[in-house]
Amino acid sequence: RYAVVESGTASLEDFRKEVDDLQFSIETKKNIMENLRGFPFSRIPQILKGISGLDDKKAQETILESKRNLLRQNEILEVVHIEDGIDQIGGLNELKKWIVERKDNFSKEARDFGIPTPKGMLMLGVQGCGKSLTCKVTANIWNFPLVRLDFINLFRKGRSVEELLKEAIVTIEGFAPVVLWIDEIEKALSQDTKGAEIRRILGWLMTWMQEKNEPVFLVATANKVSLLPPELLRKGRFDEIFFVDLPSKSEREEIFRIHLTKRSRNPEDFNIPKLAEDTENFSGAEIEQLVVDTLITAYSKKSDMSQKILEEVVRRTVPLSVTYEENIKELRIWSRNRARNASGNRRIESFFTK
């Protein structure tokens, strides 16, 4: 069920020469060495032999998929994988730059240079604006497996949640480097929850986040900052806290282009600036749904997707921001001096006060 821990004098360094002899780039060889962790040593020669004739990208993906399959044997963890790259994230330029800059920060060379092992990041903000997608894409950029830990699911196992959490972390550390994703962390660690077990879990998790040495990068997301325990936001828990707001006009244009292209439509056939203008306060997820709804409407009319139909769908759609305006305003006010704007500007809109 869990990572195989083998005793004796064997270590991953024993396979360094075999990896160095492979016909891959230096960067790929480095990534292969990192991702061999967690495999039984007896399997490693077979794995290296299996990738020897592949190109760099396919070799890395083959090892990652083998690693994911081992992690899938754990009933607590959910292995998540998508094919999307960073070009599928519309906007959020500051956040994307931050992720790309840290791609090689888990290496021995980074330690020797003086860079500490990255700990994690917290993304808080409006629903449907790319937090979950960013988690998935981060793992792809870094060529690490992504595992999701669902706290709510832990409570349904009929065992001590504290024990389950510790077992899950031991497993993840055995396979590190790994990106660990905790979605909507406030639901599990709400300060309104008074249970003794929750307090113990929170205390243990905070200590692990502060003191962990293994390259496990924690990505946590949250929608309601008022429910977050204050100790979670203390300096040193995360490398950075990002605020993800509703997309700006230029970001909405980019999001429209992404989703039209994904559905084999040429963005040049549409008036993208006008669509972006008409969808102020729409989230990225809502813009994607607009494109899908337009396809459905066009198909029902036996016609192709058009600007006219898309504008009709926009007019009849009410964005979530209308319903949750107070929650969004609260997020913006809290984030103004406490979080880094994921879009790369310091402007925190407050359109509700207009």
Residues 197 and 225: beta-carbon distance below 8 Å:
no
- pLDDT tens digits for range 171-204: 999 999 999 999 988 877 764 444 677 778 888 8
Taking residues 346-353, report their average pLDDT.
44
CA 35 – CA 260 distance, rounded (Å): 35
pLDDT grade, residue 63 (50/70/90)? very high
Q: Percent of the chain at pLDDT above 70?
A: 92
pLDDT grade, residue 314 (50/70/90)? very high
Residue 102 has a pLDDT of 94
Task: Estimate to the nearest angstrom the gap between the alpha carbon of 335 and the chain centroid.
Answer: 20
Tell me, yes or no, whether 347 lies in a domain.
no
State which H helix or E strand residue 207 sits in.
helix 196-211
Strands 146-149 and 77-80: antiparallel
Is residue 322 pLDDT above 60, yes or no? Answer: yes
Q: What is the rounded average pLDDT for all residues in the chain?
A: 88
Residue 188 has a pLDDT of 72
Residues 237 and 128 in one domain: yes
- pLDDT tens digits for range 276-309: 999 999 999 999 999 999 999 999 999 999 999 9
- The predicted model scores a pTM of 0.88
Q: Which domain holds residue 258?
A: 249-280+284-318
Residue 26 has a pLDDT of 92
Tell me, yes or no, whether 328 lies in a domain.
no
Token pair in block for residue 98: 């931050």
Tell me, yes or no, whether 105 lies in a domain.
yes
Taking residues 120-140, report their average pLDDT.
94
Residue 90 has a pLDDT of 94
**Dihedral sign from CA coordinates of 268, 273, 275, 281:** positive
Residue 206 has a pLDDT of 86
Burial readout 234-248 (b: 16 or more C-beta within 10 A, e: otherwise): eeebbbbbbbbbbbb
Say which CATH number the domain at 300 has. Answer: 1.10.8
Residues 274 and 237 in one domain: no
Say which CATH number the domain at 181 has. Answer: 3.40.50.300
Residues 47 and 93 in one domain: no
